Amino acid sequence: MRKLAIVTGASSGVGYSVCELLQEKGYMVVALSRTDKKILRLIEKDDSLEHYCVDLIDYGETKKIFALIEEKYEKIDLVVNCAASFESTKFVHQNIDNINKIIDTNIKTYVNVIKLSLPSMISAKNGLIINIASVSGKYGIENQAVYSCTKHALSGLAGALAKEMFGKNIKITTLYPGGIDTELWNENNPYLGSTEDLIKPAEIAEIIYFVCQLPANIVMKEMTFFPRNELH
């Protein structure tokens, strides 16, 4: 039986690459995002991937999708949270609507998805949750105050939850990557270093698959990595 993976932020960037690789590796992938964007390409490959358009910030809406997933599949084996919102600007000048969007996307969607996934994992006494944070969740980065705040929050969430899940065979891994070559970098949010050295989404996907392949007795609590042109 194929393992079931739920991937958020699936329509582009890291989320898309994770869906693509897990599909190739034999997982049944349930892709969640606000739009179907590029994800339709993967659906056309075979029936090992299905997609739901959903606003994961909305707990009620997300709960309905998980009810469909639970009705269709026996258990959830893997959750990879990739949804992200980013803005590079000084906090004093930041628009409150943008602040709320970053907080909601980078924290609330993770909390909602994990909360709705855990009952299945606890029942099966098995599961892996991988959250994509950022090096800014380790070190405060100038012009990224709110973004850094949300990524630090993921560290606290994972640390506390790991203690609550101890002995239940549910692993939680937090990744802290540096600059990734995604659409989050644009003319409004320019990357200050050499874009040639940015980490590729497919490389993040490979790291995630590596974590998935670890022996059952090993827990990868966290991993920090960044492009060679970044100093942290």
pLDDT at 6: 98
pLDDT value for 122 = 97
* Phi, psi (deg, nearest 5) at residue 179: -60, 125
Tens-of-pLDDT digits for all 232 residues of the chain?
899 999 999 988 899 999 999 999 999 999 999 987 788 888 888 889 999 999 999 999 999 999 999 999 999 999 999 998 988 889 999 999 999 999 999 999 999 999 999 999 999 999 999 999 999 899 888 888 999 999 999 999 999 999 999 999 999 999 999 888 866 555 665 556 556 688 899 999 999 999 999 999 999 999 999 888 777 7
- Cβ density class 171-196: b for 16+ within 10 Å, e for less: bbbbbbbbbbbbebbeeeeebeeeee
Q: Is 92 helix (H, G, I), strand (E, B) or coil?
A: helix
Please provide the DSSP assignment of 210-232 as one string: HHHTS-TT----EEEE--TT---
> Looking at residue 21, what is its pLDDT?
97
Task: Tell me the pairing of strands 4-8 and 28-33.
Answer: parallel
Q: How confident is the model at residue 178, as a pLDDT?
A: 86
Confidence at residue 188, expressed as pLDDT on a 0 to 100 scale: 66
Reported as type and span, the H/E element at residue 8 is: strand 4-8
The residue among 116, 128, 119, 176 whose CA lies nearest residue 150 is 176
pLDDT of residue 191: 56
Encoded tokens for 202: 């497919």
Find all residues with CB under 8 Å of 124, minimum gap 6, and list them: 75, 76, 77
